[in-house]
Amino acid sequence: MPRKKISKDQQIAGPVSSIMPTPERSKSKIDVVIERLGQPDGATLVDLCEATGWQAHSLRGALSCALVSASRMCSF
């Protein structure tokens, strides 16, 4: 079945992203961890586990991956 032709005045003037607002991204769990660690008093493992709902071994794994990723981006 052939596609219907659209006249120029029926076309969108610009990209859809310029017309529709982008929804705000909710904080990820790692964002919550980084925010808590950035507080003046820091955060304990128990605090971070309660904030994310993660078990201690999962939190430690996420922290080590975050450190490795950061060191790769910052190394020269």
- Average pLDDT value for the chain: 78
- 3 pLDDT higher than 60: yes
What tokens were used for 46? Answer: 């128990």
Rounded to whole angstroms, the Cα distance separating 50 from 36 reads: 11
Q: Is residue 39 part of a domain?
A: yes
Q: Which domain holds residue 33?
A: 27-76
Dihedral, CA atoms, 24, 29, 30, 36, nearest 10 degrees? 100
15-39 pLDDT, tens per residue? 555 556 667 778 889 889 989 989 9
Q: Is residue 22 part of a domain?
A: no
Give the count of domains, the chain.
1
